[in-house]
């Protein structure tokens, strides 16, 4: 009798997720897509398995339908949770990780002319900026960063590239100036939760300069006569 009772108890189904009936949002589905992408990249899913589960994710209507899709991929003791339950970012500058980091790439060219990026644009994880007898202005004051660390490859030949960042952003200058100036600058008191902008490249008879922008102050580094000067 006792053996029968224990057997029945052992076969009881697990308690269901009390949030399983809630409607899934696009953000919840995006989180599952990210988990599936990582599983494919690390070899935990085959290409066919990934395609099948991706289709299930896009068709899921509730959290209960989403949860089984990653159940065997989640870390033990850490089941799938909606993105809304995740802790918010502490960055003073908006950071939105791309769905596919490999596609976070941009190229800007100014030859005998110029261009600019300003307002609410997306700073890719890698940006190539090339100016020949021209100039480009990259104003990141109101931009959205696609990573906590982004890299700008700046090449200014008989031209100039100006980079504007919020004062909370850290800038690492790793470029070289030959008969020109290369001196990207960050804020004086950067926030450790804010993005880091790494500026690499070459200034040849030209300049690559940095500008710090905030509501309180603004300082600018420009290339003049092939040599940078602070203003």
pLDDT tens, residue by residue, 106-136: 999 999 988 999 999 999 999 999 999 999 9
Give the structural domain span for 62. Answer: 19-85
Domain count, the chain: 2
In a domain, residue 29? The reply is yes
Same domain, 180 and 220: yes
Distances (CA, A) of 208 to 53, 168, 180: 47, 20, 8
Beta bridge partners of 178: 204
Q: Name the phi and psi angles at 74, rounded to 5.
A: -75, 155
Q: Which of 30, 50, 85 is the last residue of a domain?
A: 85
Same domain, 185 and 216: yes
pLDDT tens, residue by residue, 44-75: 888 888 889 988 988 888 888 888 888 888 55
Same domain, 32 and 144: no
Query: How many Å apart are CA 11 and CA 4, to the nearest integer?
Result: 11
In a domain, residue 9? The reply is no
Same domain, 114 and 188: yes
Q: Are the C-beta atoms of residues 211 and 173 closer than 8 Å to each other?
A: no
């Amino acid at each position: 009798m006792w053996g029968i009772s224990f057997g029945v108890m052992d076969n009881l189904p697990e308690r269901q997720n009390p949030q399983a009936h809630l409607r899934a949002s696009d953000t919840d589905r995006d989180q599952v897509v990210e988990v599936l992408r990582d599983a494919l990249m690390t070899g935990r899913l085959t290409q066919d398995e990934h395609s099948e589960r991706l289709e299930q994710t896009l068709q899921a209507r509730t959290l209960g339908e989403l949860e089984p899709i990653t159940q065997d991929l989640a870390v033990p003791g850490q089941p799938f949770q909606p993105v809304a339950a995740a802790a918010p970012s502490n960055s003073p500058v908006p950071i939105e990780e791309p769905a596919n980091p490999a596609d976070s790439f941009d190229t800007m060219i100014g030859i005998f002319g110029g261009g600019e990026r300003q307002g609410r644009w997306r700073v890719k994880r890698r940006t190539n900026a090339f100016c020949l007898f021209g100039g480009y202005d990259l104003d990141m004051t109101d931009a959205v960063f696609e990573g906590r660390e982004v890299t700008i490859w700046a090449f200014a030949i008989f031209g100039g590239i100006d980079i504007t960042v919020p004062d909370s952003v850290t800038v690492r200058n790793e470029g070289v100036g030959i008969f020109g100036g290369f001196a990207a600058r960050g804020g004086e008191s950067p926030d450790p939760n804010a993005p880091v902008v790494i500026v690499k490249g070459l200034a040849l008879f030209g300049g690559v300069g940095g500008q710090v922008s905030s509501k309180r102050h603004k300082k600018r580094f420009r290339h003049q006569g092939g040599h940078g000067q602070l203003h």
